[in-house]
Chains A and B, each alone.
Chain A
Amino acid sequence: MRWLIGGAVALAGGMVARRLFGGAGRGSDHWQRGQARPRGPRWHVATVNRPASDVAPGGQFPEPLAGLGDAVEVQVRPAAGDRGTEIAVRLRDGARLPVAAARRATSRDPEQAIRAALRESKQLIETSEVLHPDYPPTTESTPLNKPLQMATRQGRREGRL
């Protein structure tokens, strides 16, 4: 079954590379390829299982979202079917994220920083904290582990969100 491990490492490496070089979240997912048209920054949306009044009490979003500053547009609307509140965020045309917010990403992709901020804000609103991975780790850094470790470091920050 070693080939399976090798295949996984290659897959994980590919996912990291795809993220690092900006493929994801820009209409280039596999089934859309060939159909995608150039477009402006994408809206990233998360549904939070809380009423709108809990999402930004006193007009103040949780720190990860607030830290994106004026570089992003934010929309808040009720989610259909009593699912809570949708928070939609997108980068303004030509805008740059504040340095502190950009550090949230492991790449230079501002979309990744937005997704990370959205995911963390959802957790803060719903559970009052951001779930951290175990520490210290029990794993070792071996050549075989490294691609997967890179992928999981990335994986804490974003996904398809």
Chain B
Amino acid sequence: MKALVWEGANELAVRQVPDPQIRNEQDAIVRVRRTVTCGSDLHLLGGYVPFMERGDVLGHEFLGDIVEVGPQVRNHKVGDRVVVCSFISCGKCWYCQQQQFSLCDNGNTNPMITENVWGSAPGGCYGYSHALGGFAGSHAEYIRVPYADQGAFTVPDAVSDERALFASDSAPTGWMGADLAGVKPGDVVAVWGAGAVGQMAARASVLLGADRVIVIDRLDNRLEMAQTHLGVETLNYEQQDIGAELLERSGGRGPDVCIEAVGMESHSGGPQLWYDQIKQQLRIESDRPVAAREAIYNCRKGGSVFVLGVFAGMVDKFPLGALMNKGLTLRGAQQHGQRYIPMLLERMARGELVTEHLATHTMPLDEAPRGYEMFKQKIDGCVRAVFQPTS
């Protein structure tokens, strides 16, 4: 089959790879209808997550049709149109039963790497390096889906492919950030990053009853998109004083909830960016936590900060003093999608959650390297590039 593979840092190619096979009785094989770039892929592409092999298939946010099922798959049959959670979880271990699906004990076939690097292994993830299991990604004509009854969700007829696609990762990730950060009616919520995950976190905050939701970015087209489609306020950190604006818009208190949806390659308007880039190049830190620092600094006393952006290793100048002395609650997680996807599909069917605007560019899989270049460089206002491997 045809697939987009990682050939080395900043090198991608579409080429033939072996078809996936059923390897376990709870597996399914899915023919991919749509698969989409994610900002976290850029960390892999650029070599920031150092557990990639030449030939690894990228992609973890997708939907498609089931074409084969293992003998222990009970909830799905051939022909089902499904959206698949990007994280691979067994549904049976203690973490899954606590609905912390991305922490699954059994979903990662290479636990040693992350157990040594992070102390414990999270679950597996499609197309996200050998640290998270080495599972082939979705930028391909077909993909193997382990624990299909747990991770694949039938898409209601009322929800289009274009909308349902984002129920795989962006929407549940964003929802989880707002939910686990404790957004409640009356809150002021600030979201750093107006990419798809940040926009979904902002929309979730609105739906959970937040009084004001403020999205922060430097790209005007994304901020306009957030205003238009989500009904939220926006700030451009290159043009506005973020700290002063947030205080003014929150009665001088600071936001109750701050959600970081940027990750390890964040930018800033000041010398901070150069500081972090130099340290990154000198191997003194692996991740640039600019948005996380700002979220902690600007959050109100006793507030909540949630890290949704992907980080891989060590950061520098982390404001632990602000965190401790302001009595903040800091949380983070990879997405527990299985917990939210059925609810999100229902909201999508009712029109409460729209996502189509995120897919700014749609193209065949053959053009995926160009799609990633557009996505990485933000060319032509690209927010997300969607590939159609089997169209």
Interface residues of A (CB under 8 A from B): 1-5, 7-9, 11-12, 15, 19, 47, 49, 83-84, 119, 122-123, 126-140, 142, 144-145, 148-149, 151-152, 154-161
Contact = CB atoms under 8 A, between A and B. Distances in A.
B115 A138 contact: no
Nearest to A159: B115
B9 A2 contact: yes
Interface string B63-104: 000000000100000000000000000101110010000000
Contacts of A11: 50
Contacts of A5: 8-9, 47, 50, 52
B320 interface: no
Contacts of B278: none
A14 B48 CA distance: 19
Contact of B283 (A7, A9, A136, A155): A7
Given A4-B48, A11-B50, A83-B94, A122 B105 contact: yes
Interface string B98-133: 000000011101111111100111001000001001
A132 B56 contact: no
Interface in B16-33: 17-18, 20-21, 23-26
Interface residues of B, number: 55
B106 A131 contact: yes
A143 to B, nearest CB: 10
A159 B112 contact: yes
B23 A47 contact: no
A156 B130 CA distance: 11
A151 B283 contact: no
Nearest to A3: B283
Interface in B122-155: 124, 130, 133-136, 144, 146-147
Contact of B24 (A19, A132, A156): A132
Interface string B38-70: 000000001110111111110000000000000
28 contacts: A1-B48, A7-B50, A9-B50, A11-B50, A15-B116, A83-B94, A84-B94, A126-B90, A126-B93, A127-B90, A127-B93, A127-B106, A128-B72, A129-B25, A131-B146, A133-B109, A133-B133, A136-B21, A138-B17, A144-B54, A151-B112, A151-B130, A155-B109, A156-B110, A157-B112, A158-B111, A159-B116, A161-B111
A81 B72 CA distance: 31
B263 to A, nearest CB: 15
Nearest to A146: B53
